[in-house]
Amino acid sequence: MIRNFRLLIEYDGTNYAGWQRQKHDPTIQGEIEKALETMLGQTVSVIGSGRTDAGVHALGQTANFRCDTRLTSEAFQKGLNSLLNKDIVIKDCKEADIDFHARFNAKGKRYSYRIFNHSVACSIGRQYCWWVRFPLDAEAMQRGADYLIGTHDFKAFEGAGSPKKHTIRTVYQARFRQDGEYLIFDIEADGFLRFMVRNIVGTLISVGISKFQPDDVKRILLSGDRANAGITAPPQGLFLIEVRYE
């Protein structure tokens, strides 16, 4: 009997070429599939809620896999955690409805981006943040982020070379918060384009150093032109926090 299992996954993406399996480089999906093959003696395809890029981390990635097995969800959680490297952890495993699909059933996602804003770089934790040495105007950055709220065409923030047929997304939250010397950007939407969060953060950094004004974010958004936006923020500051389902 074919059964469907839903995973909640936490991972440090530092040493991986992203989520999606690749022929020659280690990936999160690839490592989990190898562990499942060891447990089951059969090839299993793991479906993620979406890709994360090389170096990006997750606290709450969701995935599912189907297989013919008598193993319990608890056995899968324990078995996978014993086989996976310590930078990938299965936080939860539950049997799901056979029709559950981690990507197609997702209704929204929440990401956080960590910026270390100090004149001197950090050593500990450097793989989990973007070091920005110049003082940032967080209030101006928040005013720029406010233009992102709502339903818009986010083509101007889509990664070059990865066009989607539909680039309209609804952003529910886009806010900055201070945590000591870290400036953290939280964003939640019904979906994201490739590099969308990182391109938004790079643009808002330009606002923070007065290269752009806050209302330039609206102008960039309306232009639909990636060339008008800021740089792509590096991957190590980005965390997938949660995937939302009904």
Per-domain residue ranges for the chain? 2-96, 108-244
Q: Which of 12, 25, 53, 68 is catalytic?
A: 53
| 68 touches 17 (CB < 8 A) | no
Q: Which two tokens stand for residue 10?
A: 């936490």
3.30.300.130, 3.40.190.170, 3.20.20.70, 3.30.70.660: which CATH number matches 108-244?
3.30.70.660
197 CB burial (10 A radius; 0-12, 13-18, 19+):
buried
Check if 215 is active-site: no
| φ and ψ at residue 71, rounded to 5 degrees | -65, 145
Residue 160 pLDDT level (bands cut at 50, 70, 90): confident
pTM: 0.95
**14 contacts 87 by C-beta, under 8 angstroms:** yes
* Tens-digit pLDDT profile for residues 14-68: 999 999 999 899 999 999 999 999 999 999 999 999 999 999 999 999 999 999 9
The two beta strands, 150-153 and 168-179, are: antiparallel
Query: How far is the CA of 41 from the CAs of 38, 57, 69, 142, 145, in angstroms?
Result: 6, 29, 11, 51, 49
Q: Mean pLDDT across the chain, nearest whole number?
A: 96
Please answer whether residues 122 and 116 qualify as being in contact, where contact means their C-beta atoms are separated by less than 8 angstroms.
Answer: yes
Q: Is the pLDDT of residue 151 over 90?
A: yes
- On whether the 2-96 domain is CATH 3.40.50.300, my answer is no
When pLDDT is cut at 50, 70 and 90, the band that residue 246 belongs to is confident
HSE, side-chain direction, 13 A CA sphere, residue 159: 14
Quick check: 85 and 99 in contact, CB under 8 A? Answer: no
CA separation, residue 193 to residues 12, 21, 38 (Å):
21, 19, 34
CA 185 – CA 217 distance, rounded (Å)? 15
Identical fold at 2-96 and 108-244? yes
